[in-house]
């Protein structure tokens, strides 16, 4: 199985969201990446359950919902009911992380944990076996279109080593500043899922961009 491409709908055209969803549905992309921001954990506000429910009605591919919010455990069930197939919470926002991961799995969704750029992957050593996905932030979370932080690449390698040592099937997702300029390097380091926002939706030919990203040779998962 090849790596996965997850266009970030934060960069889509919300004046014509249906058109962009139809385009992604027809593309080689695998997931939709949906960033939920509360204006508290990150300095921006995006959208909540109602909009995600509308997205689910338009999407023919899984919704990868990334909760950049405080106290995410209060809303897990609602996001699952709205249509989230993968629910990712931030390590930095969860004092009882193991319990929150169990809560996500109880809903039937896949569970992920996101790490901010300054957070080392070593914090996941005691929970990696429970995770379907780890999202490494390669920008400071809160806004799209930021410059890629290259220090994430050695973090990918360290996380890949941890996953291989523990013999888990945890996927490594990269979120922020991902495009054709760094996709190959990320995949060779061990990434499995590439979140691409501006690189896809601001491209002159989004379908071709997705196809080119999908065609890059990397590690097989």
Coil, strand or helix at 51: helix
Tokens linked to 137: 């932030």
Single pTM value for the model: 0.95
Average pLDDT over residues 60-82: 97
Active site residues: 35, 175
Share of the chain above pLDDT 90, in %: 90
Report the C-alpha gap between 208 and 194 in whole angstroms: 16
Q: What pLDDT shows up at residue 156?
A: 98
| CB contact set of 44 (below 8 Å; sequence gap of 6+) | 37, 142, 143
Report the C-alpha gap between 89 and 207 in whole angstroms: 29
Tokens linked to 97: 């992380």
Please write the tens of the pLDDT for every residue from 87-111: 999 999 999 999 999 999 999 999 9
Report the C-alpha gap between 125 and 216 in whole angstroms: 30
90, β-bridge pairs = 114
What topology is assigned to 4-215 in CATH?
TIM Barrel (3.20.20)
Please write the tens of the pLDDT for every residue from 150-175: 999 999 999 999 999 999 999 999 99
Residue 133's pLDDT band, with cuts at 50, 70 and 90, is: very high
Residue labelled with tokens 């385009």: 23
What are the domain boundaries of the chain?
Answer: 4-215
Q: Is 31 exposed, middle or buried (0-12, 13-18, 19+ CB in 10 A)?
A: buried
Residue 145's pLDDT band, with cuts at 50, 70 and 90, is: low
Residue 85's pLDDT band, with cuts at 50, 70 and 90, is: very high
């Amino acid at each position: 199985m090849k790596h996965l491409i997850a266009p970030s709908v934060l960069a889509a055209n919300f004046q014509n969201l249906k058109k962009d969803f139809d385009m992604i549905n027809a593309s080689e992309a695998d997931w939709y990446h949906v960033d939920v921001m509360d204006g508290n954990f990150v300095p921006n506000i995006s959208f909540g359950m109602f909009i995600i429910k509308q997205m689910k009605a338009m999407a023919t591919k899984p919704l990868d919902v990334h909760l950049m919010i405080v106290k995410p455990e209060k809303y897990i069930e609602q996001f699952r009911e709205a249509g989230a197939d993968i629910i990712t919470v931030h390590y930095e926002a969860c004092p009882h992380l193991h319990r929150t991961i169990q809560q996500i799995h109880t809903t039937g969704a896949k569970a992920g944990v996101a790490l901010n750029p300054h957070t080392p992957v070593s914090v996941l050593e005691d929970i990696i076996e429970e995770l379907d996905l780890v999202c490494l932030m390669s920008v400071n979370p809160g806004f799209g279109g930021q410059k890629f932080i290259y220090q994430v690449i050695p973090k990918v390698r360290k996380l890949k080593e941890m996953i291989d040592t523990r013999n888990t099937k945890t996927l490594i997702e990269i979120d922020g500043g991902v495009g054709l300029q760094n996709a190959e390097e990320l995949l060779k380091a061990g990434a499995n899922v590439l979140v691409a926002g501006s690189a896809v939706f601001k491209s002159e030919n989004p379908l071709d961009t997705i196809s080119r990203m999908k065609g890059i040779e990397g590690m097989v998962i």
